[in-house]
A and B are shown apart, each in its own frame.
Chain A
Amino acid sequence: MRVSNLYIAYDKTMILKNINVDIKQHLCILGSNGSGKSTLAKALCGLLPYEGSIQIDNYELFSIPAIERAKKIAYIPSKMESFEQFTTVEEFVLLGRYPYKASFKNYSILDKEIVKEILAELSISNLVSFRLHELSSGQQQLVLIAQALAQKSNILIFDEPTYNLDPKNTTLFVQELKKLRNSFITILITHDIQLASYFNDPVLFLHDKKATLYEKNFFKIEQLSKAYGVNFKENSSFFELDYE
């Protein structure tokens, strides 16, 4: 995935200017509140109009039909939303197979097999007939991941994945993410510096409508302080940052 000269406007206001990044491996997108992280994530999924270029496999994103796009890129929201509380986990994860489904037809046996495998991979086969409202936040997160994996795409975008999770579930999530990183390119959007620094990927830092790419060393305390405009060293008793 290659992003060049990307400009995104929303409601006629420019949100992000001139972003250039070549995503060949994992990437972490950081930035303060309202810096446009989620906007960028939506644009990368093809949900927002943009100027400049976002290319996947040398195709321009907006020229790829929506169905094909869904096979190349999957997005995991921070929270599960559903009007239909009676949907079971299996039915929900099956929706990830939508791009592969023949028009007007039901999901195939193959689709159901794939869902079964994915649930097993994530060790949540026991949840298969649970209804969405019966799940804990941690389980919901895993089910959302399962749905995204069912899309069989190469790139996974995580939008604030730990936002709703307690420390225990965060740890479980990190273990899962570690495994996924072996087979997918992940783009992690987060506020959680601790989580980001754990993986120590290149960081795209959004600030003041612009983006700066840090290939490495972003998580040195001087660098962090500079980027966020806060002296983390003085507050080091609060921010237990020691990742050097």
Chain B
Amino acid sequence: MNKTYIWIILFIFTLLSPFAGTVSLDFNTIFEANSLSQRIFLELRLPRILLAFVVGGTLALAGLLFQTLFRNSLMTPFTLGVSGGAVLGAGISIKLGLTLVFGLSAVSLFGFLGAFSTVILLIVLSRYLKKAEQESLLLLGIALSFFYTSALMVIFYLSSFTETATIMRFTMGSLSIVGYKSLLTISIFSALFLTLLYLKRFELQLLSISDEQAALKGVNTKRLTYLFLGVSSLAIGVLVSLTGPIGFIGLIIPHMVRKIYQKPVSTLIFPVFFMGGFFLLACDTLTRLISTGSEIPIGVVTALIGGPFFIYLIIAKQKY
């Protein structure tokens, strides 16, 4: 598909986005100070639009990084069990009835710890794998995911009805926020991640061939890989802890951008970030357009679109 069309479609959704929702905005009063429309726009819609954009961009970028770094088109922080870790962490904190730890939301903190410790665990476990066995890393991730799911089942089993509902809600992922605090937190880590990837884009391109080739050209591969994994999991950990897991963006977007741009990874950093951002924004707009009464969780929508795409990828065995 022509990339111009894709950008135009996404742009239209972006323009529609502020006006989609259970309360319709009156365009005429939006610029009137303290009108209801303006307050909804500034306090609910705008932060949500920005959040969808930053979250989508960051998830897509993390997918691009993992796919390139491990040279496997199915690798994303989510297929590696990172989101599973976050959900389990959040589940534990809800079950324990924790609300605030050190002044931070307990769900967020535990979610972050779950995601981050999964990455650390994967790094440690991958040291026992031989270099060529990138596939095994994926299997490790899948094994971890199953383990987390089962552990979560145990928590469900032990939980009351309300606790279960709260955990379920978290696992579906959500972009509903009020105000700018969590947006700011996510943005800081996302900006750090984006900057790192952009500055190291040529090193990443060399790593996409092989660790050996990158080392032969003078890249300190070990240090750089750890830096990439550290910063990306920090960003993903913070993000998942605040929004819950929103799957498939990291898988679909890098593939789409590769296919329509047909360029090496060093030139794809910004296109992937923007495409991911606008794509999640479009999905979010869609959920608000079709929702009546209560909203469909965003994670459900991306998974509904992503699932079939994932199957298509496996069957088509596209090699990018």
Contact = CB atoms under 8 A, between A and B. Distances in A.
Most buried by B among A45, A85, A96, A133: A85
B254 to A, nearest CB: 11
Contacts of A107: 202
Which of the listed residues B199, B210, B216, B220 has the most CB atoms from chain A within 10 Å of its own CB?
B216
A67 interface: yes
A66 B220 contact: yes
Nearest to B209: A82
A101 B218 CA distance: 11
A98 B203 CA distance: 9
A47 B212 contact: yes
Contact of B215 (A66, A101, A151): A66
**Interface size band for A:** 20 to 34
Contacts of B72: 83
A213 B210 CA distance: 32
B264 interface: yes
Contact of B218 (A42, A66, A77, A83): A66
Contact of A67 (B202, B212, B218, B263): B218
A47 B213 CA distance: 10
B218 A104 contact: no
A81 B216 contact: no
B265 interface: yes
B220 A86 contact: no
Interface residues of B, number: 27
A52 interface: no
B319 interface: yes
Contacts of B209: 81-84, 95
A104 B203 CA distance: 9
Contacts of A87: 205, 264
A46 to B, nearest CB: 8
Contacts of B265: 84
Contact of A83 (B199, B263, B320): B320
A185 to B, nearest CB: 17
Interface string B201-236: 010011011101101111110000000000000000
Interface string B300-320: 000000000000000000011
Interface string B170-209: 0000000000000000000000000000010010011011
B264 A86 contact: yes
A99 B218 contact: yes
Contacts of A66: 215, 218-220
A219 interface: no
A45 to B, nearest CB: 6
Contact of A99 (B210, B217, B263): B217
B199 A82 contact: no
A151 to B, nearest CB: 7
Interface in A203-234: none
B134 to A, nearest CB: 10
Interface string A55-76: 0000000000111111000110
6 contacts: A67-B218, A81-B209, A82-B208, A84-B264, A91-B264, A98-B219
Interface of B: 67-68, 71-72, 199, 202, 205-206, 208-210, 212-213, 215-220, 258, 261-265, 319-320
Given A81-B213, A86-B320, A131-B262, 12 more contacts: A70-B218, A75-B216, A77-B213, A81-B210, A84-B205, A84-B264, A84-B320, A91-B264, A95-B209, A95-B213, A106-B202, A107-B202
| 7 shortest interchain CB distances as A-B pairs | A67-B218, A83-B71, A70-B218, A66-B218, A86-B262, A98-B217, A87-B264
